[in-house]
Amino acid sequence: MFDFHKNHKLLVATSFLGFAMLSTVIAVIPALQMQEVKPLPGMEELNSEELKGLQVYVSENCMACHTQQVRNIEMDQVWGERPSLASDYYYSKQRMDLWRQSPSLLGSERTGPDLTEVGKRQPGKEWHLLHLYNPRIAVKESVMPSYPWLFEEKSKAMVTQKDVVVPVSAELLKNPDHQLVAKPEALALVAYLQSLIQAELGQDLGPDFIPSTRKKQEPASGAESLGLDGLQLYSETCSACHQPSGDGIPGAFPSLAGSEIVNDPDPSILIQIILSGYDARPEFGAMPEFGSLLSDEEIAAIATHERSSWGNQAPVVTPDQVAEIRKFVLNQ
Amino acid sequence: MKRTTLLLLLLGFGLNQSQAQTVPNPAIDQWWSSPGIVGTALLIALVSLVAIVIIGSRLSALFQGLQNRAESRKKETLKSELVNWEEEDLDWILEKRKAAKKYRLTGTELTGKGNSDDSRGLIAKVTRDPENPLVDEKKRETLRMETPKPLRKLMIWYLGAAVFWLVFGTLVGQYVGMKFIWPEMDQISWLSFGRLRPVHTNTVFWGWASMAMVGLGYFVISRTSNTGIFSYSLAKIAWYLMNSAVVLGNFLLMSGVNNGGGEYREYIWPVALLFASGLILTFFNYYKTVAARKISEIYISNWYLLGGLIWTITLVVIGYLPSFQDGLGETVIQGYYMHQGVGMWFMTFTLGLIYYYLPTSLNKPIYSYSLGVLAFWTQMLFYTLIGTHHFVFSPLPWWLQTVAIVFSAGMFIPVVSGTTNFLMTMKGSWSAISKSYVLPFFLVGVVFYFVGSAQGSLQAFRLTNFIWHFTDFNVAHSHMTMYGIITFILWACMYAILPKVTGKEPPALGVGIHFWLAFVGLFAYMISLMTGGTQRGLSWIEGESFINSVILMQPFWVWRAIGGSMMFVSHLIFAYNFYEMAKKEKPLPHKIPAPLSSVHA
């Protein structure tokens, strides 16, 4: 009966049916089940601009180097508030069009950082545009490709009101007299990247990270070091624009080294800018607000770090000072 | 802690996510002593050892020793014989020997007194020097098989296309690898990293390996079924379909049309349909040929060839059907598809090729038919279930991840039975390795089959996923398998069969350089990315800033590019060797000898 070695029909039929059955159990049925999920209550559908950006993201195959999944292990906590859920992908992983399927956003390589919450981590549009035009302007050691074909150089006379001009210094342009204008694809891509923020879940609702058994360092007592490291916080939050050297990027993001505002003995303006953002100087990109992202203690640690680094010399900022200004800002 | 990991593996089966979360992470402090890491280190040590063994066999000190012993034994027997001989007999032998020593040829023994017409004589050229002083002399291929001309032509078509795609695909890979060191090498959208990476992977998959496999497979089914190919024109149509899929797919990828970025699924469905049609025609052709076989049994190779084809056709259909690809459904299918693309197509088919080409190169039967059958069914059972191990700790169901991990460990069964079968077939013929240019390729391929597959199983464990997932370690693993196993075996098969079919040998020096450049290059590639990947994973676990892990990788990326360059150069040499084996027969330089009648005139 089982004469596979003599009966080619039986051999081929058995191996086909066996494989098809296993595939149904391990792939088709679980896939159908995973399609059943519904979006989270707080999630918004991607608008047409963001969808267009997602298509640019797929065309350029950003998934080759960037993941969009926060795994449920503690080391991934830097990439998101909570582990990713199946529902998180409800709107972004739909079939794109007749020719192209649902994008493989989860990715398998983290040559570059995870992008699950890049919209929260890097809220500034100018930063994204500059970084796409040439990543090494913003992050010196980056190995990400430049995407100059998403931008065009225009002579100053040709730049219209509607154009988004990217604040890049003249020596990086082919023609130093021109200005760099973002094409619609670049703007759409940035809109998509800015939309990447994990949807809020009520406390204790989502899955937890599997904790690490690594021993945590006991935080030292005292107000100054609530375990908060100003340098670390600055590197995570501020240095993408203002740079680790504090020098900023000429033409795009102002220098903090030697800055009058940073060195002012009264830190009120500095704290206020960190809390509610700043867009008063047309020669620089706009700074987003960090009040909702950072606690008083964190802002105090960052401000103290800025006021004591790169040759700056100004007194320490305390969390109480920040709390006071925060109250003032909220009342406005 | 080790026990906890194992328990977690075994008990994790069927646990749902919330239960599983009560299990803490394994201790990362002692990552180096975890079973996955220790196993991988041992496997790498094993493959290094094999490298040393090959070098050792080249030095051939062993053979020298054996030879000496045999000679002295011969002397001993002669001595004892001499002692027992009679004086008279010895004198008689001595006289005979003296006469023989004095005897000289007169030069007229063969021709008599007449004049000869042939000015060349019997021996055209005498030399005592080896052809090439740099490499060992290889045994020339003496056996030339009578191959039907259309089959010979068909194979050269398929293999020629494969060689072209190998050179093109690895040129792209090499270029892309250098972009890690010089990200500003070019500013052209068509050559950007994201677009070229899938061009590299898809070209070497669907262009190089697939074309070479199908071409080599045609010879196997025809030979082992003792009959001709069912239809040469179908084979040719399939050739056009599959090659046009690779051309068109690459063009679209470079212009920015990407199916969705899932690995090896980057070609959009019309392109995949072209390729799948080629596969279906090939399957039909193979099937009909096997059905018309002139012997009752189906040789084990053909199980793998037919199985690989029918499974891959099913796989492509499931991979591209749209009805279960939204949301994370796509991710389930992606894990399934990308793993089975490798396992059910490249690995299964290549195993089938080994079952024919390895025994024929050694001129002896395969060690065990039954082990081959066991490996065939377990390949289907275990390999199919392990795709989700690419998404461990992802939002995919925890049970699906556990099944994948458990059956990844189960992969040891087909791998060990396959490896045992091949090594036992080679046993007793080790000395042939230094005399053949085919067998070193087979040996490396078989050893990597064990090491690469076993290492992949260990990499699926949860603890190893902590350290290695998302790092360049994965890239190293892919090259260890697709290059170390598949590509080395395909080279072995091509070097084994082409001289027999065309009657033309590749230059021995060329094959030697090809082997060593590819082998050493692969090692540099693999070891650098594995070391770098491990350090990168540990840096992430430590919570260092991400850019630190980019800076940390830079020297390793340089070494990867060096290894990659060596591999690429070896492919150029291989292409030349292929040309030497496949080029058209030149007409004989001599004039046609005069007809016999003129001799008498």
Is B184 inside any structural domain? yes
Give the strands of the sheet with A151-155, arranged side by side.
A151-155, A178-182, A165-166
Q: How many CB atoms lie within 10 A of CB B596?
A: 7
Is B219 inside any structural domain? yes
Residue B27 in this model has a pLDDT that exceeds 70: no
**Mean of pLDDT over chain A:** 86
**Mean of pLDDT over chain B:** 87
Residues A278 and A287: beta-carbon distance below 8 Å: yes
Record: fold of A48-194? Cytochrome Bc1 Complex; Chain D, domain 2 (1.10.760)
Residue B326 touches partner A, C-beta closer than 8 Å: yes
- Mark which residues 457-476 of B lie under 8 Å from A by CB: 466, 469-472, 474-475
Domains A48-194 and A230-331 share a fold: yes
Residue B436 in this model has a pLDDT that exceeds 50: yes
Residue B181 in this model has a pLDDT that exceeds 90: yes
- Set of chain B residues whose Cβ sits within 8 Å of the Cβ of A61: 194-195, 197-198, 253, 258, 261, 266
Give pLDDT, residue A331. Answer: 79
> Per-residue pLDDT averaged across B532-552, rounded?
92
Is B450 inside any structural domain? yes
Rounded Cα distance, B419 and B426, in Å: 11
| Residue A236: closest C-alpha in chain B | B545
> Per-residue pLDDT averaged across A7-20, rounded?
95
Residues A309 and A302: beta-carbon distance below 8 Å: no
Q: What is the CATH number of the domain that holds B265?
A: 1.20.210.10
A43-75: per-residue pLDDT in tens?
889 999 999 999 999 999 999 999 999 999 988
Residue B551 touches partner A, C-beta closer than 8 Å: yes
Q: How many CB atoms lie within 10 A of CB A332?
A: 6
Is B571 inside any structural domain? no
Closest CB to A213 among B25, B258, B394: B25
Q: How many CB atoms lie within 10 A of CB A37?
A: 18
What is the predicted ipTM?
Answer: 0.81
Rounded Cα distance, A67 and A54, in Å: 14
The nearest CA of chain B is from the CA of A25 a distance in Å of 9
Residue A272 in this model has a pLDDT that exceeds 90: no
The nearest CA of chain A is from the CA of B519 a distance in Å of 26
Closest CB to B260 among A58, A67, A110: A58
- Set of chain A residues whose Cβ sits within 8 Å of the Cβ of B259: 99-101
Residue B459 in this model has a pLDDT that exceeds 60: yes
Percent of chain A surpassing pLDDT 90: 41
Closest CB to B384 among A23, A58, A90: A23
- Set of chain B residues whose Cβ sits within 8 Å of the Cβ of A88: 395
- Set of chain B residues whose Cβ sits within 8 Å of the Cβ of A22: 380-381, 384-385
Closest CB to B261 among A58, A139, A146: A58
Residue A11 in this model has a pLDDT that exceeds 80: yes
Give pLDDT, residue B138. Answer: 67
What is the Cβ-side half-sphere exposure of residue A47, based on CA atoms within 13 angstroms?
A: 8
Domain count, chain B: 1
Residue B289 in this model has a pLDDT that exceeds 50: yes
What value, to the nearest 5°, has the Cα angle with vertex B377 and ends B371 and B378?
Answer: 85
- Whole-number CA gyration radius for chain A: 25
- Mark which residues 399-418 of B lie under 8 Å from A by CB: 400, 403
Rounded Cα distance, B69 and A215, in Å: 64
Closest CB to A146 among B184, B257, B334: B184
Give pTM, 2 decimals.
0.81
User: Domain-by-domain residue ranges, chain A?
Assistant: 7-36, 48-194, 230-331
> Per-residue pLDDT averaged across B103-120, rounded?
74
Residue B381's nearest CA partner among B413, B342, B417, B349 is: B413
Residue B12 in this model has a pLDDT that exceeds 70: no
CATH of A230-331, one of 3.30.110.60, 2.40.50.700, 3.30.450.40, 1.10.760.10: 1.10.760.10
Residue B190 in this model has a pLDDT that exceeds 90: yes
Residue A309's nearest CA partner among A251, A259, A250 is: A259
**Cβ-defined contact of B194 to A28 (cutoff 8 Å):** no
- Set of chain B residues whose Cβ sits within 8 Å of the Cβ of A75: 466, 540-541, 543
Residue B117's nearest CA partner among B589, B597, B592, B599 is: B599
In DSSP notation, B300-342 reads HHHHHHHHHHHHHHHHHHHHH-GGG-STTHHHHHHHHHHHHII
> Per-residue pLDDT averaged across B33-44, rounded?
83
User: Based on the number of CB atoms within 10 Å of its own CB, is B137 exposed (0-12), middle (13-18) or buried (19 or more)?
Assistant: exposed
Q: What residues make up the domain containing B39? A: 32-58+153-495
**Cβ-defined contact of B336 to A58 (cutoff 8 Å):** no
Residue A36 in this model has a pLDDT that exceeds 50: yes
Q: Which residues contact A235 (CB under 8 A, 6 or more apart)?
A: A244, B545
User: Based on the number of CB atoms within 10 Å of its own CB, is B265 exposed (0-12), middle (13-18) or buried (19 or more)?
Assistant: buried
What is the Cβ-side half-sphere exposure of residue A288, based on CA atoms within 13 angstroms?
A: 19
Residue A23's nearest CA partner among B278, B388, B269 is: B388
Give pLDDT, residue B3. Answer: 45
A219 pLDDT band, cuts 50/70/90, is: very low
A221-262: per-residue pLDDT in tens?
444 445 578 888 888 788 888 888 888 887 778 888 888 888
Is B367 inside any structural domain? yes
**Cβ-defined contact of B194 to A113 (cutoff 8 Å):** no
B478-516: per-residue pLDDT in tens?
999 999 999 999 999 999 999 999 888 899 889 999 999
> Per-residue pLDDT averaged across B59-88, rounded?
83
Is B206 inside any structural domain? yes
Q: How many CB atoms lie within 10 A of CB B463?
A: 23
Q: Answer with the residue of higher pLDDT: A79 or B56.
A: A79
- Set of chain B residues whose Cβ sits within 8 Å of the Cβ of A63: 261
Give pLDDT, residue B7. Answer: 41
Is B222 inside any structural domain? yes
Q: Among A203-217, A299-313, B60-74, B585-599, which is the least confidently predicted range?
A: B585-599
Give pLDDT, residue B267. Answer: 96
Residue B60 in this model has a pLDDT that exceeds 60: yes
